[in-house]
Structure 1
Amino acid sequence: TLEVGLLTDKSDNKCDPATCGRRMFLASLIIASKYLQDRNYANSAWSKISGLPVKDINAIERRFLILINYNLFIKDSTFKTWTNFLSSRICSSGSEVKQKVVFSKGEDQQFVECQA
Protein backbone atom coordinates (compact mmCIF):
# COMPACT_ATOMS: atom_id res chain seq x y z
CA THR A 1 0.00 0.00 0.00
CA LEU A 2 2.91 2.34 0.62
CA GLU A 3 3.95 2.00 -3.00
CA VAL A 4 0.45 2.93 -4.16
CA GLY A 5 0.45 5.92 -1.82
CA LEU A 6 3.76 7.08 -3.21
CA LEU A 7 2.68 6.81 -6.83
CA THR A 8 3.69 9.95 -8.66
CA ASP A 9 2.73 11.23 -12.06
CA LYS A 10 6.10 11.35 -13.81
CA SER A 11 4.61 13.12 -16.82
CA ASP A 12 3.91 16.24 -14.77
CA ASN A 13 7.40 17.28 -13.70
CA LYS A 14 6.32 20.92 -13.33
CA CYS A 15 3.79 20.17 -10.61
CA ASP A 16 3.60 23.00 -8.07
CA PRO A 17 4.22 21.35 -4.68
CA ALA A 18 1.65 23.60 -3.03
CA THR A 19 -1.12 22.28 -5.27
CA CYS A 20 0.06 18.76 -6.16
CA GLY A 21 -1.78 16.33 -3.91
CA ARG A 22 0.49 13.37 -4.59
CA ARG A 23 3.62 15.29 -3.69
CA MET A 24 2.06 16.75 -0.56
CA PHE A 25 0.96 13.24 0.44
CA LEU A 26 4.54 12.06 -0.07
CA ALA A 27 5.82 14.99 1.99
CA SER A 28 3.39 14.13 4.79
CA LEU A 29 4.63 10.51 4.80
CA ILE A 30 8.26 11.62 4.93
CA ILE A 31 7.69 14.14 7.70
CA ALA A 32 5.50 11.78 9.74
CA SER A 33 8.17 9.11 9.44
CA LYS A 34 10.89 11.50 10.59
CA TYR A 35 8.71 12.81 13.43
CA LEU A 36 7.61 9.41 14.74
CA GLN A 37 10.59 7.12 14.08
CA ASP A 38 14.02 7.17 15.67
CA ARG A 39 15.51 5.64 12.53
CA ASN A 40 14.05 6.51 9.16
CA TYR A 41 14.80 6.67 5.48
CA ALA A 42 17.12 9.31 4.09
CA ASN A 43 15.70 11.56 1.39
CA SER A 44 17.81 9.66 -1.14
CA ALA A 45 15.82 6.51 -0.27
CA TRP A 46 12.52 8.40 -0.63
CA SER A 47 13.84 9.57 -4.00
CA LYS A 48 14.35 5.99 -5.15
CA ILE A 49 10.93 4.92 -3.82
CA SER A 50 9.05 7.80 -5.45
CA GLY A 51 11.09 8.33 -8.60
CA LEU A 52 11.52 12.03 -7.80
CA PRO A 53 14.96 13.69 -7.64
CA VAL A 54 16.35 14.34 -4.14
CA LYS A 55 16.16 18.11 -4.75
CA ASP A 56 12.40 17.76 -5.35
CA ILE A 57 12.01 15.65 -2.19
CA ASN A 58 13.84 18.35 -0.22
CA ALA A 59 11.69 21.08 -1.79
CA ILE A 60 8.33 19.41 -1.12
CA GLU A 61 9.39 18.61 2.44
CA ARG A 62 10.29 22.26 3.08
CA ARG A 63 7.13 23.51 1.35
CA PHE A 64 4.89 21.19 3.35
CA LEU A 65 6.48 22.29 6.64
CA ILE A 66 5.97 25.95 5.67
CA LEU A 67 2.33 25.28 4.75
CA ILE A 68 1.65 23.70 8.15
CA ASN A 69 3.69 26.41 9.88
CA TYR A 70 6.04 23.69 11.23
CA ASN A 71 3.24 22.55 13.55
CA LEU A 72 3.62 18.76 13.74
CA PHE A 73 1.52 18.26 16.89
CA ILE A 74 -1.94 16.74 16.46
CA LYS A 75 -4.47 17.30 19.24
CA ASP A 76 -6.10 14.17 20.69
CA SER A 77 -9.56 15.40 19.68
CA THR A 78 -8.42 15.91 16.08
CA PHE A 79 -6.79 12.47 16.02
CA LYS A 80 -9.92 10.78 17.41
CA THR A 81 -12.19 12.59 14.93
CA TRP A 82 -9.93 11.51 12.07
CA THR A 83 -9.71 7.87 13.22
CA ASN A 84 -13.49 7.72 13.65
CA PHE A 85 -13.92 9.04 10.11
CA LEU A 86 -11.42 6.52 8.71
CA SER A 87 -13.02 3.68 10.67
CA SER A 88 -16.46 4.46 9.31
CA ARG A 89 -15.11 4.65 5.75
CA ILE A 90 -13.23 1.37 6.10
CA CYS A 91 -16.20 -0.46 7.60
CA SER A 92 -18.65 0.91 5.03
CA SER A 93 -16.37 0.29 2.05
CA GLY A 94 -18.39 -2.70 0.92
CA SER A 95 -15.33 -4.91 0.93
CA GLU A 96 -16.03 -8.56 1.57
CA VAL A 97 -12.93 -8.74 3.72
CA LYS A 98 -13.45 -6.85 6.96
CA GLN A 99 -10.30 -6.21 8.92
CA LYS A 100 -9.30 -5.31 12.43
CA VAL A 101 -7.83 -1.83 12.23
CA VAL A 102 -5.51 -0.33 14.83
CA PHE A 103 -4.90 3.40 15.13
CA SER A 104 -2.33 4.57 17.64
CA LYS A 105 -1.00 7.85 18.94
CA GLY A 106 1.68 7.62 21.57
CA GLU A 107 0.67 5.06 24.18
CA ASP A 108 -3.02 5.18 23.25
CA GLN A 109 -4.40 2.68 20.77
CA GLN A 110 -7.84 2.55 19.24
CA PHE A 111 -9.00 -0.81 17.87
CA VAL A 112 -11.75 -0.94 15.29
CA GLU A 113 -13.29 -4.19 14.18
CA CYS A 114 -15.87 -4.02 11.44
CA GLN A 115 -18.95 -6.16 11.89
CA ALA A 116 -19.82 -8.45 8.99
Structure 2
Amino acid sequence: MVSSSASTSLMISPRKLRSDLYSYSYQDDSETPLVVNVLASLIERNMARNQRIAKNCSSPWYMSKDMKKTRIFECHETPDLTIQSYLERIFRYTRAGPSVYVVAYVYIDRFCQNNPAFKINVTNVHRLLITTIMVASKYVEDMNYRNSYFARVGGFTTNELNKLELEFLFLMGFKLHVNVSVFESYCCHLEREVSIGGGYHIESTLRCAEEIKRRQNEERRYNQFAGVLL
Protein backbone atom coordinates (compact mmCIF):
# COMPACT_ATOMS: atom_id res chain seq x y z
CA MET A 1 0.00 0.00 0.00
CA VAL A 2 1.11 3.55 -0.75
CA SER A 3 0.29 6.26 1.74
CA SER A 4 -2.17 8.93 0.68
CA SER A 5 0.50 11.61 0.89
CA ALA A 6 2.83 9.62 -1.37
CA SER A 7 0.02 8.91 -3.80
CA THR A 8 -0.93 12.58 -3.96
CA SER A 9 2.65 13.64 -4.64
CA LEU A 10 2.78 11.30 -7.63
CA MET A 11 -0.51 12.33 -9.21
CA ILE A 12 -0.49 13.66 -12.76
CA SER A 13 -3.26 15.93 -13.98
CA PRO A 14 -4.03 16.59 -17.67
CA ARG A 15 -3.34 20.29 -17.06
CA LYS A 16 0.08 19.52 -15.59
CA LEU A 17 0.90 17.24 -18.50
CA ARG A 18 -0.08 19.91 -21.02
CA SER A 19 1.97 22.52 -19.18
CA ASP A 20 4.93 20.15 -19.27
CA LEU A 21 4.51 19.53 -23.00
CA TYR A 22 4.28 23.18 -24.00
CA SER A 23 6.41 25.04 -21.46
CA TYR A 24 9.11 22.56 -20.48
CA SER A 25 12.31 24.11 -19.15
CA TYR A 26 15.38 22.78 -20.97
CA GLN A 27 18.02 22.72 -18.26
CA ASP A 28 20.78 20.27 -17.46
CA ASP A 29 19.17 19.37 -14.14
CA SER A 30 15.59 19.20 -15.45
CA GLU A 31 13.32 16.49 -14.12
CA THR A 32 12.14 13.77 -16.47
CA PRO A 33 9.17 15.07 -18.53
CA LEU A 34 5.79 13.69 -17.47
CA VAL A 35 5.14 12.47 -21.00
CA VAL A 36 7.86 9.85 -20.48
CA ASN A 37 5.83 8.28 -17.67
CA VAL A 38 2.63 8.34 -19.72
CA LEU A 39 4.33 6.85 -22.78
CA ALA A 40 5.88 4.10 -20.65
CA SER A 41 2.44 3.23 -19.28
CA LEU A 42 0.90 3.10 -22.77
CA ILE A 43 3.66 0.89 -24.15
CA GLU A 44 3.52 -1.50 -21.19
CA ARG A 45 -0.24 -1.89 -21.50
CA ASN A 46 0.07 -2.48 -25.24
CA MET A 47 2.66 -5.19 -24.62
CA ALA A 48 0.46 -6.86 -22.01
CA ARG A 49 -2.48 -6.86 -24.43
CA ASN A 50 -0.34 -8.32 -27.22
CA GLN A 51 0.88 -11.04 -24.88
CA ARG A 52 -2.69 -12.03 -24.00
CA ILE A 53 -3.64 -12.13 -27.68
CA ALA A 54 -0.60 -14.26 -28.54
CA LYS A 55 -1.56 -16.82 -25.89
CA ASN A 56 -5.06 -17.17 -27.34
CA CYS A 57 -3.98 -17.42 -30.98
CA SER A 58 -3.84 -20.89 -32.53
CA SER A 59 -1.52 -19.49 -35.20
CA PRO A 60 0.90 -17.15 -33.39
CA TRP A 61 1.25 -13.68 -34.88
CA TYR A 62 5.03 -13.98 -34.78
CA MET A 63 4.82 -16.79 -37.37
CA SER A 64 3.21 -14.48 -39.92
CA LYS A 65 5.00 -14.06 -43.23
CA ASP A 66 4.47 -10.31 -42.95
CA MET A 67 6.72 -10.32 -39.90
CA LYS A 68 9.74 -10.82 -42.16
CA LYS A 69 9.61 -7.11 -43.02
CA THR A 70 9.99 -6.08 -39.39
CA ARG A 71 12.20 -8.92 -38.20
CA ILE A 72 15.15 -6.55 -37.90
CA PHE A 73 13.53 -5.14 -34.75
CA GLU A 74 13.53 -8.53 -33.04
CA CYS A 75 16.38 -9.00 -30.58
CA HIS A 76 16.75 -11.83 -28.08
CA GLU A 77 19.51 -10.06 -26.13
CA THR A 78 17.56 -7.07 -24.89
CA PRO A 79 18.65 -4.44 -22.33
CA ASP A 80 17.82 -5.51 -18.79
CA LEU A 81 15.68 -2.42 -18.20
CA THR A 82 11.99 -1.72 -17.75
CA ILE A 83 10.29 0.52 -20.31
CA GLN A 84 10.18 3.31 -17.74
CA SER A 85 13.88 3.08 -16.87
CA TYR A 86 14.86 2.73 -20.55
CA LEU A 87 12.98 5.91 -21.50
CA GLU A 88 14.41 7.74 -18.51
CA ARG A 89 17.90 6.65 -19.54
CA ILE A 90 17.32 8.03 -23.04
CA PHE A 91 16.14 11.33 -21.61
CA ARG A 92 18.97 11.53 -19.09
CA TYR A 93 21.68 11.23 -21.75
CA THR A 94 20.02 12.95 -24.73
CA ARG A 95 17.86 15.61 -23.02
CA ALA A 96 15.29 15.18 -25.79
CA GLY A 97 12.35 17.47 -25.00
CA PRO A 98 8.73 16.38 -24.37
CA SER A 99 7.67 17.09 -27.96
CA VAL A 100 10.17 14.48 -29.18
CA TYR A 101 8.37 11.77 -27.19
CA VAL A 102 4.99 12.87 -28.55
CA VAL A 103 6.29 12.66 -32.13
CA ALA A 104 7.92 9.30 -31.34
CA TYR A 105 4.49 8.14 -30.12
CA VAL A 106 2.99 9.28 -33.44
CA TYR A 107 5.66 7.30 -35.31
CA ILE A 108 5.07 4.17 -33.24
CA ASP A 109 1.34 4.38 -33.95
CA ARG A 110 1.92 4.89 -37.69
CA PHE A 111 4.47 2.09 -37.79
CA CYS A 112 2.05 -0.37 -36.19
CA GLN A 113 -0.75 0.72 -38.53
CA ASN A 114 1.48 0.33 -41.59
CA ASN A 115 2.67 -3.07 -40.38
CA PRO A 116 -0.34 -4.75 -38.71
CA ALA A 117 1.53 -8.03 -38.22
CA PHE A 118 4.04 -6.23 -36.02
CA LYS A 119 3.21 -6.43 -32.32
CA ILE A 120 5.22 -4.66 -29.64
CA ASN A 121 6.76 -7.14 -27.22
CA VAL A 122 9.80 -7.61 -24.99
CA THR A 123 12.02 -8.63 -27.91
CA ASN A 124 11.42 -5.56 -30.09
CA VAL A 125 10.31 -2.71 -27.81
CA HIS A 126 13.78 -1.36 -26.99
CA ARG A 127 14.87 -1.22 -30.62
CA LEU A 128 11.59 0.40 -31.62
CA LEU A 129 11.83 3.04 -28.89
CA ILE A 130 15.44 4.10 -29.48
CA THR A 131 14.83 4.24 -33.25
CA THR A 132 11.63 6.28 -33.10
CA ILE A 133 13.00 8.67 -30.48
CA MET A 134 16.19 9.24 -32.47
CA VAL A 135 14.25 9.87 -35.70
CA ALA A 136 11.77 12.12 -33.86
CA SER A 137 14.65 14.07 -32.33
CA LYS A 138 16.08 14.71 -35.78
CA TYR A 139 12.67 15.87 -36.98
CA VAL A 140 11.83 18.11 -34.01
CA GLU A 141 15.07 19.54 -32.68
CA ASP A 142 17.69 21.73 -34.32
CA MET A 143 20.68 20.11 -32.64
CA ASN A 144 21.06 16.36 -32.30
CA TYR A 145 23.54 13.75 -31.23
CA ARG A 146 25.04 11.40 -33.78
CA ASN A 147 23.67 7.93 -34.36
CA SER A 148 26.73 6.49 -32.62
CA TYR A 149 25.80 8.34 -29.43
CA PHE A 150 22.15 7.23 -29.55
CA ALA A 151 23.38 3.68 -30.14
CA ARG A 152 25.50 3.74 -26.98
CA VAL A 153 22.63 5.22 -24.99
CA GLY A 154 20.26 2.55 -26.30
CA GLY A 155 22.66 -0.34 -25.80
CA PHE A 156 23.28 -1.18 -29.46
CA THR A 157 26.10 -0.86 -31.95
CA THR A 158 26.19 2.04 -34.39
CA ASN A 159 25.83 -0.37 -37.29
CA GLU A 160 22.72 -1.92 -35.72
CA LEU A 161 21.06 1.45 -35.17
CA ASN A 162 21.94 2.67 -38.66
CA LYS A 163 20.23 -0.39 -40.14
CA LEU A 164 17.23 0.03 -37.84
CA GLU A 165 16.83 3.67 -38.85
CA LEU A 166 17.04 2.91 -42.56
CA GLU A 167 14.59 0.01 -42.36
CA PHE A 168 12.24 2.07 -40.22
CA LEU A 169 12.21 4.90 -42.77
CA PHE A 170 11.34 2.52 -45.61
CA LEU A 171 8.65 0.75 -43.58
CA MET A 172 7.19 4.18 -42.79
CA GLY A 173 7.32 5.17 -46.46
CA PHE A 174 9.42 8.15 -45.32
CA LYS A 175 6.20 9.75 -44.03
CA LEU A 176 7.64 11.54 -41.03
CA HIS A 177 5.82 14.87 -41.20
CA VAL A 178 3.66 15.63 -38.17
CA ASN A 179 1.53 18.74 -38.57
CA VAL A 180 0.19 20.84 -35.72
CA SER A 181 -3.28 19.28 -35.70
CA VAL A 182 -1.86 15.74 -35.55
CA PHE A 183 0.54 16.73 -32.78
CA GLU A 184 -2.30 18.32 -30.85
CA SER A 185 -4.54 15.27 -31.27
CA TYR A 186 -1.87 12.97 -29.83
CA CYS A 187 -1.31 15.37 -26.94
CA CYS A 188 -5.04 15.21 -26.25
CA HIS A 189 -4.89 11.43 -26.34
CA LEU A 190 -2.12 11.46 -23.76
CA GLU A 191 -4.20 13.79 -21.60
CA ARG A 192 -7.20 11.45 -21.84
CA GLU A 193 -4.92 8.59 -20.87
CA VAL A 194 -4.15 10.46 -17.67
CA SER A 195 -7.66 11.66 -16.85
CA ILE A 196 -9.78 8.65 -17.84
CA GLY A 197 -8.45 5.22 -18.62
CA GLY A 198 -4.85 5.27 -17.58
CA GLY A 199 -4.73 7.01 -14.23
CA TYR A 200 -4.13 3.90 -12.15
CA HIS A 201 -1.51 2.51 -14.51
CA ILE A 202 0.38 5.79 -14.69
CA GLU A 203 0.37 6.21 -10.91
CA SER A 204 1.68 2.65 -10.64
CA THR A 205 4.39 3.45 -13.17
CA LEU A 206 5.35 6.57 -11.26
CA ARG A 207 5.61 4.70 -7.98
CA CYS A 208 7.96 2.30 -9.73
CA ALA A 209 9.85 5.32 -11.09
CA GLU A 210 10.74 6.41 -7.57
CA GLU A 211 12.71 3.20 -7.11
CA ILE A 212 14.23 3.58 -10.57
CA LYS A 213 15.40 7.11 -9.79
CA ARG A 214 17.02 5.85 -6.60
CA ARG A 215 18.93 3.24 -8.58
CA GLN A 216 19.90 5.81 -11.19
CA ASN A 217 21.33 8.07 -8.48
CA GLU A 218 23.36 5.15 -7.18
CA GLU A 219 24.55 4.40 -10.72
CA ARG A 220 25.50 8.05 -11.24
CA ARG A 221 27.50 8.13 -8.01
CA TYR A 222 29.24 4.90 -8.99
CA ASN A 223 30.13 6.25 -12.45
CA GLN A 224 31.51 9.44 -10.93
CA PHE A 225 33.56 7.44 -8.49
CA ALA A 226 34.89 5.08 -11.15
CA GLY A 227 35.53 7.90 -13.62
CA VAL A 228 33.50 6.14 -16.31
CA LEU A 229 32.15 8.36 -19.08
CA LEU A 230 29.36 7.25 -21.38
**Which TM-score band applies after superposition, normalised by the shorter structure?**
0.5 to 0.7
Q: Name the structure 2 match of 1:64.
A: 168
Q: Which runs of 5+ in 2 are unaligned?
A: 1-31, 41-74, 79-114, 119-123, 207-230
Seq. identity, %? 24
Residues 13-50 of structure 1: CA distance to partner in whole angstroms, max 9, x if unpaired? 49xxx852321221110001111112101111112111
Q: Name the structure 1 match of 2:152.
A: 48
How many pairs are equivalent? 87
Distance in 2 (alpha carbons) for counterparts of 1:75 and 1:62 = 23
User: Could you tell me the TM-score, scaled by structure 1's length?
Assistant: 0.61
Distance in 2 (alpha carbons) for counterparts of 1:44 and 1:74 = 25
In proportion to residue count, which structure has more strand? 1
Answer yes or no: is 1:12 the counterpart of 2:76: yes
Distance in 2 (alpha carbons) for counterparts of 1:80 and 1:54 = 33
Pair member with larger Rg: 2
RMSD of Structure 2 on Structure 1 (CA): 2.9
Task: Tell me the amino acid that sits aligned with residue 43 of structure 1.
Answer: N
Answer yes or no: is 1:33 the counterpart of 2:97: no
User: Could you tell me the TM-score, scaled by structure 2's length?
Assistant: 0.33
Match for residue 182 of structure 2 among 51, 65, 78: 78
Secondary structure (helix, strand or coil) at the match of 1:74 reads coil
